[in-house]
């Protein structure tokens, strides 16, 4: 498993065990999961959709050709929404249809359309479960990569006793939680080596350009994105140097922080680190474009209704580093309020960068000061990659995804794809 699970699509198929699935939805929600239910026609013969709607809080999906849902390609949206697809009970008929790759109902189509893991919880008569045909199908779906929770042993509705009972809802929830923990542990072990052996320099926070001893020009940057990225790179095994403007954040564990105030100080430290040798340079700092031409030696007194301050352009830190003879892999950031994609592509080319991440800071729910972000990532033409869209998430999650995208560009894509397959950077139209 490549990511944490919070959203589960529960597929319910035909069988007397379907009544247990109502309780399963409740137990999953009690455990903190958000659940949406997909029912087959056979399932509705045993339990009504209204029962699942009542316990899940969402309408039940049951029709592949539902005009209302399909206006927005409902099965595709569900497939993308899910962190995990659980089919419980999974009937013998359903197992065979999944193995054959059939897509003539909503559940079968969703399974084929999702990149998320799929957990099958079979339930059927003990003789059916033991049959060679079903066991061959079970082996087949596991070869396709589907996870399987074995059925429980005990008395069945038909009066038989043996293996084939659907496990109790509590046991299924525990199985999912244990599976998630195991996958998370393995994922973290793989992630911790993504950038091993690399020295990554990151600029973060605002710069302050003095006007007089008590006043300065600056911006609203809090440094949260840069600090989250420094932490993510360190967890990925990199040696990280964080060149930070004045912020109220503590340096992440294992990260060396160098404090600066002005753009010229930032440039001097950046060039020093580059000269010493770093492999990746990431410029998240919000550098002031201009500074006062002259800094008043004393506090400027309020005397007139207007005050004119002459400004001169600051050096372009990241573009200057990109021209250094020991040029590292260059990653830029663009915070824009309009034409975000156009300006980001322009900066990627004009500053001779390898990769740029941009966001729309006119949005009040992301960007400066917010704990969340959403980004578009572009790469230099020489990579031939499509853009990567990072949907709104916490800055910690966005930072982790940026590290995975960076790993692709650095030629460590196999590991990154294994960790986060839906973030694959595919070749194609730019």
Helices (H), 101-250: 106-113, 126-130, 132-143, 169-191, 224-235
Q: How many CB atoms lie within 10 A of CB 397?
A: 18
For tokens 């980004």, the residue is 375
pLDDT, position 260: 97
pLDDT category of residue 193 using cuts at 50, 70 and 90: confident
Residue 190: is its pLDDT beyond 80? no
Lowest mean pLDDT among 103-112, 137-146, 281-290, 413-422: 413-422
For tokens 């139209």, the residue is 429
User: In angstroms, rounded to a whole number, what is the distance separating the alpha carbons of residues 406 and 15?
Assistant: 47
The answer to whether 110 touches 145, Cβ cutoff 8 Å, is no
Whole-angstrom CA distances from 178 to 1, 145, 182 are 11, 18, 6
For tokens 């399932």, the residue is 43
pLDDT, position 154: 73
Residue 184: is its pLDDT beyond 70? no
pLDDT, position 273: 97
Lowest mean pLDDT among 30-39, 154-163, 408-417: 408-417
Residue 427: is its pLDDT beyond 50? no
Q: Using one digit for the tens of pLDDT, what is the confidence trace for 6-28?
A: 899 999 999 899 999 999 999 99
pLDDT category of residue 419 using cuts at 50, 70 and 90: very low
Q: Which residues are catalytic?
A: 158
Q: Using one digit for the tens of pLDDT, what is the confidence trace for 376-387?
A: 888 888 776 667
Helices (H), 31-82: 49-56, 67-70, 74-81
Domain architecture of the chain: domains with CATH: 7-186 (3.40.50.1950), 199-296+307-423 (3.40.50.10300)
pLDDT, position 94: 95
Top-confidence range, 37-46, 143-152, 390-399: 37-46
Question: Phi and psi dihedrals of 355, rounded to 5?
Answer: -160, 145
pLDDT, position 430: 33
The conformational region for residue 30 under phi > 0 = left, psi -120 to 50 = alpha, else beta, is alpha
Helix (H) or strand (E) holding 349: helix 340-350
pLDDT category of residue 242 using cuts at 50, 70 and 90: very high
pLDDT, position 386: 63
Q: Read off the tokens for 135.
A: 């066991």
DSSP 410: T
pTM greater than 0.75 (yes/no): no
Q: Using one digit for the tens of pLDDT, what is the confidence trace for 49-63?
A: 999 999 999 999 887
pLDDT category of residue 79 using cuts at 50, 70 and 90: confident
Sign of CA dihedral 89, 91, 94, 98: positive
Residue 143: is its pLDDT beyond 70? yes
Torsion angle of alpha carbons 140, 144, 147, 148, nearest 10°?
-10
Distant-in-sequence, close-in-space partners of 159: CB < 8 Å, separation ≥ 6 = none
pLDDT category of residue 413 using cuts at 50, 70 and 90: low
pLDDT, position 369: 66
User: In angstroms, rounded to a whole number, what is the distance separating the alpha carbons of residues 21 and 380?
Assistant: 49
DSSP assignment of 282-345, as one string?
EE--B--SEEESS--SSPPP--SS-----EEEPP-HHHHHHTSTT--EEEEEEEESSSHHHHHH
Nearest by Cα to 418 from 194, 250, 222: 194
User: In angstroms, rounded to a whole number, what is the distance separating the alpha carbons of residues 4 and 6?
Assistant: 7
Lowest mean pLDDT among 53-57, 160-164, 420-424: 420-424
Q: Read off the tokens for 70.
A: 């399909």
Nearest by Cα to 190 from 254, 253, 236, 239: 236
Residue 110: is its pLDDT beyond 50? yes
Q: In angstroms, how far apart are the furthest CA atoms of the chain?
A: 96
Residue 72: is its pLDDT beyond 50? no
Buried b (16+ CB within 10 A) or exposed e, 318-349: bbebbeeeeebbbbbbbbbeeebeebbbebbe
Residue 73: is its pLDDT beyond 50? no
Nearest by Cα to 38 from 27, 24, 26, 53: 53
Burial group, residue 420, by CB count within 10 angstroms (0-12, 13-18, 19+): buried
Angle 141-146-152 from CA coordinates, rounded to 5°: 85
pLDDT category of residue 423 using cuts at 50, 70 and 90: very low
Q: Read off the tokens for 89.
A: 């009970």
For residues 326-349, average pLDDT: 90
For residues 175-201, average pLDDT: 81
For residues 252-276, average pLDDT: 96
pLDDT more than 90, % of the chain? 56
User: In angstroms, rounded to a whole number, what is the distance separating the alpha carbons of residues 92 and 297?
Assistant: 84
Nearest by Cα to 193 from 409, 419, 1: 419
Q: Using one digit for the tens of pLDDT, what is the confidence trace for 301-325?
A: 988 889 999 999 999 999 999 999 9
User: In angstroms, rounded to a whole number, what is the distance separating the alpha carbons of residues 296 and 429?
Assistant: 52
Instruction: Report CA Rg, the chain.
Output: 27
pLDDT averaged over every residue in the chain? 86
């Amino acid at each position: 498993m490549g990511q944490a699970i919070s959203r589960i699509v529960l597929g319910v198929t035909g069988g007397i065990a379907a009544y247990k699935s109502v309780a399963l939805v409740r137990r999953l929600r009690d455990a903190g999961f958000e659940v949406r239910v997909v029912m087959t026609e056979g399932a509705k013969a045993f339990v009504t959709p209204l029962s699942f709607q009542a316990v899940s809080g969402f309408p039940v999906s049951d029709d592949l050709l539902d005009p209302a849902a399909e206006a927005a390609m409902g099965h595709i949206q569900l497939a993308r929404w899910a962190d995990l697809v659980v089919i419980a009970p999974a009937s013998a008929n359903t197992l065979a249809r999944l193995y054959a790759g059939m897509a003539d109902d909503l559940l079968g189509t969703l399974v084929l359309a999702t990149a998320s893991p799929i957990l099958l919880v079979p339930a059927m008569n003990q003789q059916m479960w033991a049959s060679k045909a079903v066991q061959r199908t079970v082996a087949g779906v596991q070869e396709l990569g589907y996870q399987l929770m074995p059925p429980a042993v005990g008395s069945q509705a038909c009066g038989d006793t043996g293996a084939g009972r659907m496990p109790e809802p509590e046991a299924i929830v525990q199985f999912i939680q244990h599976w998630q923990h195991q996958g998370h542990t393995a994922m973290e072990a793989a992630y911790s080596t993504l950038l091993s052996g690399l020295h990554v320099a990151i600029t973060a926070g605002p710069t302050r350009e003095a006007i007089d001893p008590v006043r300065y020009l600056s911006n609203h940057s809090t440094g949260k994105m840069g600090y989250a990225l420094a932490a993510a790179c360190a967890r990925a095994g990199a040696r990280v140097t964080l060149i930070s403007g004045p912020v109220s954040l503590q340096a992440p564990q294992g990260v060396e922080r160098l404090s600066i105030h002005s753009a010229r100080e930032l440039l001097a430290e950046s060039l020093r680190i580059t000269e010493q040798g770093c492999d990746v340079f990431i410029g998240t700092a919000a550098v002031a474009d201009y500074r006062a031409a002259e800094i008043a030696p004393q506090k400027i007194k309020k005397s007139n209704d207007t005050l004119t301050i002459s400004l001169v352009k600051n050096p372009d830190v990241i573009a200057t580093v990109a021209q250094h003879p020991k040029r590292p892999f260059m990653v830029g950031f663009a915070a824009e309020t309009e034409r975000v994609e156009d300006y980001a592509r322009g900066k990627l080319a004009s500053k001779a960068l390898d990769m740029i991440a941009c966001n729309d800071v006119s949005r009040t729910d992301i960007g400066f000061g917010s704990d969340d972000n959403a980004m578009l990532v572009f790469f230099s033409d020489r990579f031939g990659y499509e853009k990567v869209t990072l949907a709104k998430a916490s800055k910690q999650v966005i930072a982790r995804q940026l590290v995975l995208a960076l790993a692709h560009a650095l030629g460590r894509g196999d590991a990154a794809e294994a960790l986060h397959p839906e973030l694959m950077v595919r070749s194609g139209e730019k």
